[in-house]
Structure 1
Amino acid sequence: MNVLTGEKILLLIFLFKGISLKVILPNKIDALSGSCVLIKCIKIDTSTPYETPEGISKSPPPPTLMFYSKRWLLLNSPVLEGSSVILSCWAKTLCSYHPPVLTWSSYPKLHLSESSRQPDQTQLISDLNFNVTHLHHTVNFICTITYQLKDKKKTAQTNYTLYVQYAPKMSPSSSCKRADVTVCFCEVHGNPFPNLTWFISDNPVANSTCTSVSEERLDDTVLRSTFTLSYFLKTEHSVQCVATNIYGNASRQFHLDPLPNETAYCAHKTLSLLITLALVVLLYALTVGAGFYKIKQLSTKLKAKREAEAPASVQCPNSNNIYENLHF
């Protein structure tokens, strides 16, 4: 038995029982341009008018998205990794030649498991149930309603971007390379943005003559840190990078063995620096000494020149000598 036959039988029953019916034609019809139009003209309960949006729309209304975690409605709030959530999409069925269809998609693309339900003839609901991981961070979920008209389809979309907070995750690409210097790098991501510290043999690393640390922020959650060790190793050492935020930490450890025929290089580098400094000081001293020597030479020449230009002095003979030479 179809719906129309059932309504005819119901109408006959009411007529035989003497129940007066009021026929109502709605003033407003909710319809999609190009689709069929369903007008209910018989209303048993005349106390509640038939409510529909105004006018005929050329485009279908977009579906409505709701996001729940533990039955609490979330409004653009970040979700903690591990939470069980429901992303619910609701749309009006309207009137089409085939029942409308709700579909889910995401960017970046993820495997989605959805379930659809139809509480009544006027609405259609589709739910996504999943446990949140860091892979869902900044994923854009898109819900699409598709109406099949007589000769074409019409669609409408709504989207929701999910933000996830999670403890740091260390990238498997983190590594160390050995050459004249040792270069290690760690790449880590987390939300909130993590802090990273380097350790060598359990001692925190600071920038110095033989060690240096540099960081590069790749995006809002990803950090790349590079540690450079500028000396050869005589014994085995361990190098470790540790990333932390308010939700936890992550670490990666590297074991560095001394290469064959390695000798201490940092001391040699320091000695070279001291020798260079000593040569600079010596060169400065020689320059200053040569300057003083030139000044002394010039002073001597000026003194000799002044003495040569002065008038000769007249000396009186000794009177005793005069009388000694006079003999009569």
Structure 2
Amino acid sequence: MEKFVFFGGKGGVGKTTVSSAYAHRCATSGMETLLVSTDPAHSTADVFDQAFDDDPTPVEGYDSLSVMEIDPDEAVDEHLMEIKRTMGDQVSPSIVNEIDRQIELAHRTPGAHEAALFDRFIEVMRGADEYDRVVFDTSPTGGTLRLLSLPEYLGGWIDRLLSKREESVRLFERAALGDREPRRSRVGDPIIARLQGRKENFEFAGEVLRERASFYLVLNPDQLSIRETRRAIDSLREQDLVVSGLVMNRLTPEPDAEEDGRGARYLRERVETETERVREARETLDPPVVATIETRVREVKDDLLGAVADELDIDIGVVAN
């Protein structure tokens, strides 16, 4: 099993329950475990009856489990403020106000949340040495797919920016006359240095996601969920990311044989439909179904979290180097 484990799926399928149960299983097996929530509608606090924030916080009642909830809005603010500080040091005072205006507009730019959130992903992955397992409870499928595609797309974009900046510096140096010294050199240019740093971060993230991470998709036993899962598998495959398994969540419990009331008949018909959906998932989707989890009558927390964890046929194994 890889060190970084991602649980994804469409909204409302139970990703937080499954990722929390898996983190519980890892931690109670003695592994130092960090559960990271990136879903704006954080539910980990409800699972563990404890407040969490952007810093890893030990979970009460556990010896080896910590949780952090990444706030996308706060991540965007920090991301843009860092850009503002960096640019302010590298441009003339006359255009600082224009930079401020562009930074404010960037808050509403499509993709700002994904870029900022991915920076936090990288920080978490780079700073995870003290943990044996890092479990990500991700946002709904569309946002997660955009997030995981960033190393490829932004990596190429940064390559083009680097090429243009290096050419700009080269032309500036060539135009320098007499004793006039160029303000920048390609070796010491801070913009090139920052772009190189960003490129290295995306290369690191791409390597980790492809070689040191496992991906599991959570779905419910209905056609809409199966269709979206199929699209997610294909999209991840396009990024050279392989889904290791599927977790079929919220299956209806079958009534006892002697029950024959209206409710029991409804449940049997529902179970029959869901059984067909599970079969469809097993036969038509490439990754194996590694768990089928029944719906509980109350919220999954405390002792129920351990019960769900026991139903997950997902190896906790040894962390790959």
TM-score normalised to the size of structure 2?
A: 0.22
Higher RCO (CA 8 Å, separation ≥ 6 residues): 2
Higher share in strand: 1
Question: Which of 1 and 2 has greater Rg?
Answer: 1
Q: TM-score, normalised by structure 1?
A: 0.22
* Greater helix proportion: 2
